[in-house]
Structure 1
Amino acid sequence: MIPPGRNVAARWARFTARRGRWIALGAVLFAAAALLLGSRVAGHLSHGGWTPTGAPSVTAEQRLADTFGTGSEHLVLVVRADGHTAERRVAAHGSALVRALRHDHRVAHVASPWAPDERRLRATDGAAYAILVRFHGSDSQVHAAGADVLRRTTGRHGPLTVTATGESAVVAETERLSDRDLRTAELIAAPVTFAVLLLAFRSLPAALLPVAVGALSVAGTMAGLRLLTSLLPVSLLALNITTALGFGLAVDYSLLIVARYREQRATGRSPGQALATTVGTAGRTVAVSALTVCLALAALLFFPLPLLRSLALASIMVTVLAAATTLILIPAALVALGDHLDRWDPLRAVRRRRAGPATTAHLWRRLAHCVLRRPLTTALPVLLALAALAAPLLGARFGIHDDRMLPPTSATARASALLRHHFDVAERRPAALLLPGYQVRTRPGPVADYARRASDLPGVRRVDAATGSYRHGRPVPPPPHIRPAAFATAHSTRLSVVADGDPLSPDGARLAERLRALPAPAPVQVAGLNARMADTTEAIVSRLPAVLATITATVFLVLLLLTRSLLLPLKALLLNALTLAATLGTVVHLFQEGHAPWLTGDIAVTHITDLTVLCLMFSIAFGLSMDYEIFLMARIVEEHRRTGDTRTATAVGIEHTARVFTAAALIVAVVMGALAASGLLALKTIGTGLAVAVLLDATLVRAVLVPAFIRLAGRANWWLPRVTARRGRCRSAGRP
């Protein structure tokens, strides 16, 4: 029986003990409703969202489409003919395909390689052709039309083989791979997680509890995402990321609760007493940890990118769900299981031939004492290793991944590679300069001068305008597909800027900034991928100081209240920054530079690091690192208040929590490692980065650097200004 008490922990423990059956029934009903609601969530998720809401480039593209009826294509059909097929026969079948597309009411424009003067849509070796398709409507209507056209047009058409790339094809392929990878991750993560828990707990019921809570959290995550899609567009990546995060956090929190309960029972306490103490200590730690993770993720809301905001809201939702599920279900299950919690160990026979269960805890304690005796000797090699891992971050080049985020073996990726290597891609996606309200027919001179100066900018191959074409500041004959009359209306003028290089790279963003800074004869708007990249970079960089300040301040306050110390929160932030730098440096080394392909698998090396992926990974990794920091520091603070001795408190804290947070980190690494097995470069990057972050944090940082720091700081660890300390003591004593 749970002893009477007025504190929240005792009341909650009594409530879950008395309502165990109702809680179990509620969990079953919740799981059924969540699975029903979330079963088709993938069809409601969106693609893109990496451009800031209301960005100048988006406004320019919309005005360009409204005024001139031009814009980027949504679909590119890559057509190849069988060997030795006559050109006339290829043109006949290809033109029939183009006519069918033009008769589709959803199609706004089709550019045919068999039209006169469209040499740009033919491969340089003459072996392939590109058909450009643009659709009417919103993003959802465009992608629905693109998916339908893909089904009808790709494949064999007489002597032609048609494959597809472009935005709509990439979206469709991303959806397919995301769904496949989610199933693969679940098949990998669940059994491996269960095996780790079985080794850690030595009991089948104890190992099953975290897995059950994790599965319930995943079901709730899918239902929550479905509800969130009715309020705002949610990125397609959210399903894989939040499912992995929710499962990992739920297992972590459950692991902490069950381990502390078993520890209390091992001291001879009754189930009621053990549960009340567990909820008051480990339960409080879970609540503080979830709050810290949510605060780290909430900082992403500062960025005006729909992609990051939707992922932040989805991740916050799943973190709250994981903590709530743990604090509701686990106490009720512990009471219901009673003495059966420690029975049915499938590995008992193996364990009898090995050392006892206390050996692991003693090893951690000996390691802690070793670090406490020689803090500098043990900490310096770790610091040097983390600095070496962080070094590649200095060479990071930030951009946005395009179709090369797909695995190279994908049919869409192969079509993209063919287009990139055998067509003049720069001609297909120029930047656009829009001069609204400018009448070039009455004032052609300023436009000609503006076009000449724009063509002389670094990275610009050619500028086309109503006054002609220009290269390196001089007029040149326009290409066959360029018609100068199409660059002007009665009220507006546009220029087309054909640029070399990748528009979604730092060089592409710099070119957009140069075009915006170039003096123009009228107010100018810049459209195109270069401008989108510049807007995204500016939105992230300009808000980065506010994001970092918010994360630092809020997490510092939470840790201040937890530890009643000024130095320990600063230590936590410093070590977390070191872990994150090492993690991001590892990601740059593996994915930007393409090292260790045996680890990363077959990926397209673009020599850029996706800026949006990096922001998301930073926030999640920061939250997970703080997760383990709170696991450890909560126990060290508890032991210090009990004994008053810093060295003893540190050693005992590591002894009792190291096995918990290393097992938790291993489970999260397994879950994220399953995500790293994805064929999508963004998911692979996030999964690998987060696995590296938690493993570094739970081993080198928590087991070595934390005790070394505490030993060197000595009594300063517990320093707090007198007024704040007095208020804290008054609150803990219940006085106003």
Structure 2
Amino acid sequence: MTRFATFVLRHKLLVVLAWLAVAVAGGFAATRIEDRLTPDFAQPGLAGFEANQTLQRLYGTGGDDPPLVAVIGLPPGKTVDDPGMREAIARPFAAVAERLQARTLSYPDTGDRAFVSADGRTTFGIVYTSPTSGFGGDDLTGPVAQIMRPALPPGATVQVTGLEALSESEAAGEGVSVFVEVVVGGVGALVVLLVVFGSVLAVVPLVIAVISVLVSFLALYGLTGVTDVHMIVQYVVALLALGVAIDYSLLLVTRWREERARGHKGDAAVIRAMATAGRSVVVSGGAVGLGLIAMMVLPVPYLRSVGYGGALIPLVSVLAVLTLLPVVLATAGARMDRPRRTAASALPGASGGRRWQAWGRLVIRFRRSVLAGTAVLLVALGCAAFGLRLGEPQSSSLPKAGPAYEGLVSLRDAGFPTGVLTPMDVILPPGVDPEAEAARLARVPGVLTVAAPADWRANGTALLAVLPEAESGTEAGRRTITEVRRTVAPGAQVAGEGAQSIDFVDAVYGSFPAMLALIAVVTYLVLVRAFRSLLLPLKAVLLNLLSVAAAIGAMVLVWQYGYGSDPIFGLAATGALPEFIPVMVFAFLYGLSMDYEVFLLARMREEYDRTGSTTAAITYGLGRTGRLVTSAALILFLALVSLAAAPEPEVKIFATGLGVGILLDATVVRALLVPAFVSVMGRWNWWLPTWAARLLRVPPTAAVPYGRAEDDGERAPIAGPPAR
């Protein structure tokens, strides 16, 4: 790293011009990239997805988007059994079918009393519109209601609802754009940086981060020419690139200030900082990239694109911090570090550093109690993750205002189960009797009714509509889908959002344990060389996995069970989490959490090499990184808070999952659990036998005999590593 830093500083002008050129190109790409992104959530090869594609191809409507439900209320004294009323109710549905090329299903079509309330004054119908792609599809609740009203019987009312309509209701708001989210995150970051540095130098990490974001968009623009990239990637790149680049910049700038405080000037201070902090930046970037392996190898194209796009974040950020930032520090850093601090105050051992050292000594003093308490907390949260249920959010969790919500209330008040919001379509192959199949499926537990309209025929196939009692996002709803799939005639396809969701979960999470083991092993091997220890990296990987599990458990408690979603966002418990969110939270949080682990443990390793004392390694390591890790976590948390302002519940869940994970990691894990664990392990932390050191080409840490006193008063284990 020293030679690399020397090379960079010898070519300052070339480095600056190169980054300026790609940043300008990145700004151009950022303004045009949205048109090159795809909103499709394609899942080729999965049975549910293929059934939905067949349904759309043959019938033009339906698929993985839940249909709309029109609820018609008749005037007082009128029921569906009045003369001519059935024909009158049929007219508004016929008008919708003609104007929107929609497929409709209602009481007039079927004569099925399941579509009518007990008092006969309310009826509902299903309106299957053409599927939309991705987030933000057209909300057709208003147009459908406008088309139906003129054709209603005199005095009747109509309200239109549906899961997509509820999520896009006026109560959800318009949200904010990527640009606004970046600005909000950037302003929050600047405030934190001003507190950390107390000088104009605070703008330097922010400038590096903005350049990293622009160049990441340029790389993403190029990626769209090679493969499809989902539109959600632009939000991920914009906000996480901002946070990650600032994290890495903080690490290097803080170390550069330490070197200057020790009397090193100009290029020498930068080179010395790069020799230590620069190596940590490389390891941290590699850890973030390793976490995204889980996304890159998944059998779902849009999730793979999130992995590809996410991998650009550490790559570009590491390059910017290791090339552009050293040039800025060497040329203008000293002038920007105003007001100038004294050498003593610039070192982390003073003020905040002393407070973190005192904290470290306190943790060491009560290390076993701290270790037990924090472990119990994280394990308890991690156990909550075992209750995770995957699927679409339930209607009860969506915004409680607007016309779509009013339609939902009318549907419930009339006594209809909300499962009608998520019907299934069954495509029957030629030769299967639709009427007989409908009667057979109607006997499946959890099925409200099955309709087989005579005009639902195409290319020799017939189409059935299966209306469940429970929504597909509930456990009962998923059981109903599974039973319907088991019961249908051979060769039949079951379409609908619920069927596609079940297949997605099986495909993505079925091989996840093996993938998790692979990522953990690769991460361990990378960290063994970085920390020059066999046991310290193992602890790092295990604690990181525990931290991620705790974050997912917290997400389950907050959203699935609703212990935080209502007071924070005004949304009820979802009952299930969207299928793609846990794997995305794992992929990003695994790497981001490992960032802080590397920052802290790398500095502890350095202090142990300098002092030969585990106690000194913990106290000085915390003193030099505690404020850094806390500030970095706060900056990233602020970026995620701005992301949580998006109107879509899925984005809110993703942002809060990452935000809670970052806070847990920077406080409970890094400030309590890690130092306590390192203190309990003693010199075992630093053990690296000769054979392993030879393979890694690093100096070994030899064993010591039993009974050798530890520096903190503990006795070393039989094969424990020695003081240096």
- TM-score, normalisation: structure 2: 0.82
The more displaced of 611-620 and 677-686 is: 677-686
Where 1:498 maps in the other structure, the secondary structure is strand
The more displaced of 721-730 and 312-321 is: 721-730
Partner of 2:552: 584
The more displaced of 146-155 and 360-369 is: 146-155
Residue among 2, 11, 14 paired with 2:4: 11
Residue among 49, 56, 59 paired with 1:58: 49
Q: Is the 8 A contact 2:167 2:399 kept in 1?
A: no
Listed as ranges, the matches of 1:6-405 within 5 Å are 8-16=1-9, 18-20=11-13, 22-47=14-39, 49=41, 52-66=43-57, 71-72=62-63, 76=68, 99=95, 102=98, 107=101, 109=103, 132-135=127-130, 147=138, 180=176, 182=178, 185-204=181-200, 206-344=201-339, 358-401=350-393
Where 1:706 maps in the other structure, the secondary structure is helix
Partner of 2:486: 517
Instruction: For residue 299 of structure 1, report the CA deviation from its aligned partner.
Output: 1.0
Where 1:609 maps in the other structure, the secondary structure is coil
Q: Is the 8 A contact 1:676 1:687 kept in 2?
A: yes
Partner of 1:460: 447
Distance of 1:690 and 1:566 partners within structure 2:
29
Listed as ranges, the matches of 1:394-543 within 5 Å are 394-401=386-393, 407-409=399-401, 426-427=419-420, 429-440=422-433, 448=436, 454-464=441-451, 482-483=452-453, 485-486=454-455, 491-492=460-461, 495-518=464-487, 522-543=490-511
Task: Specify the code of the residue in structure 1 equivalent to 2:541.
Answer: L
Distance of 2:125 and 2:462 partners within structure 1:
28
Instruction: For residue 211 of structure 1, report the CA deviation from its aligned partner.
Output: 1.2
The more displaced of 537-546 and 124-133 is: 124-133
Distance of 2:626 and 2:588 partners within structure 1:
21
Where 1:537 maps in the other structure, the secondary structure is helix
Q: Is the 8 A contact 1:194 1:207 kept in 2?
A: yes
CA deviations over 1:184-230 (Å, ceiling 9, x no partner): 533432222111111111112x2001111222233334444444444
TM-aligned CA distance change 1:555 to 1:416, over 3 Å: farther
Distance of 1:356 and 1:286 partners within structure 2:
19
Distance of 1:388 and 1:628 partners within structure 2:
22
Where 1:215 maps in the other structure, the secondary structure is helix
Find out whether 1:559 has 2:527 as its counterpart: yes
CA deviations over 1:666-720 (Å, ceiling 9, x no partner): 1111211222333322222222222222222122211222122222222222223
Distance of 2:404 and 2:233 partners within structure 1:
22
Gaps of at least 5 residues in structure 2 are: 701-724
Instruction: For residue 591 of structure 1, report the CA deviation from its aligned partner.
Output: 1.1
Residue among 691, 707, 711 paired with 2:659: 691
Partner of 1:601: 569
Instruction: For residue 648 of structure 1, report the CA deviation from its aligned partner.
Output: 1.9
Give % identity: 30
Distance of 1:318 and 1:405 partners within structure 2:
33
Instruction: For residue 571 of structure 1, report the CA deviation from its aligned partner.
Output: 0.5
Distance of 2:143 and 2:551 partners within structure 1:
44
TM-aligned CA distance change 1:69 to 1:203, over 3 Å: closer
Task: Specify the code of the residue in structure 2 equivalent to 1:457.
Answer: V
CA deviations over 1:59-99 (Å, ceiling 9, x no partner): 22333455566634776385889999x9999x999969965
Q: Is the 8 A contact 2:357 2:622 kept in 1?
A: yes
Q: Is the 8 A contact 1:629 1:702 kept in 2?
A: yes
Distance of 2:643 and 2:135 partners within structure 1:
25
Task: Specify the code of the residue in structure 2 equivalent to 1:397.
Answer: R
TM-aligned CA distance change 1:183 to 1:574, over 3 Å: same
Distance of 2:165 and 2:490 partners within structure 1:
38
Q: Is the 8 A contact 2:285 2:318 kept in 1?
A: yes
RMSD over aligned Cα atoms? 4.2
Question: How many equivalent residue pairs?
Answer: 684
Distance of 2:459 and 2:694 partners within structure 1:
75
Where 1:457 maps in the other structure, the secondary structure is coil
The more displaced of 528-537 and 382-391 is: 382-391
Q: Is the 8 A contact 2:167 2:649 kept in 1?
A: no
Q: Is the 8 A contact 2:559 2:653 kept in 1?
A: yes
TM-aligned CA distance change 1:524 to 1:78, over 3 Å: closer
Gaps of at least 5 residues in structure 1 are: 1-7, 442-446, 465-481
Task: Specify the code of the residue in structure 2 equivalent to 1:674.
Answer: S
Q: Is the 8 A contact 1:200 1:663 kept in 2?
A: yes
CA deviations over 1:21-46 (Å, ceiling 9, x no partner): x4444444433322222224445544
TM-aligned CA distance change 1:674 to 1:128, over 3 Å: farther
Task: Specify the code of the residue in structure 2 equivalent to 1:392.
Answer: A
Task: Specify the code of the residue in structure 1 equivalent to 2:431.
Answer: Y
Task: Specify the code of the residue in structure 2 equivalent to 1:459.
Answer: G
Task: Specify the code of the residue in structure 2 equivalent to 1:385.
Answer: L
- TM-score, normalisation: structure 1: 0.81
TM-aligned CA distance change 1:155 to 1:289, over 3 Å: farther
TM-aligned CA distance change 1:598 to 1:207, over 3 Å: farther
Instruction: For residue 438 of structure 1, report the CA deviation from its aligned partner.
Output: 3.1
Task: Specify the code of the residue in structure 1 equivalent to 2:663.
Answer: L
Q: Is the 8 A contact 1:102 1:109 kept in 2?
A: no
Q: Is the 8 A contact 1:400 1:611 kept in 2?
A: yes
Q: Is the 8 A contact 1:710 1:717 kept in 2?
A: yes
Task: Specify the code of the residue in structure 2 equivalent to 1:19.
Answer: K
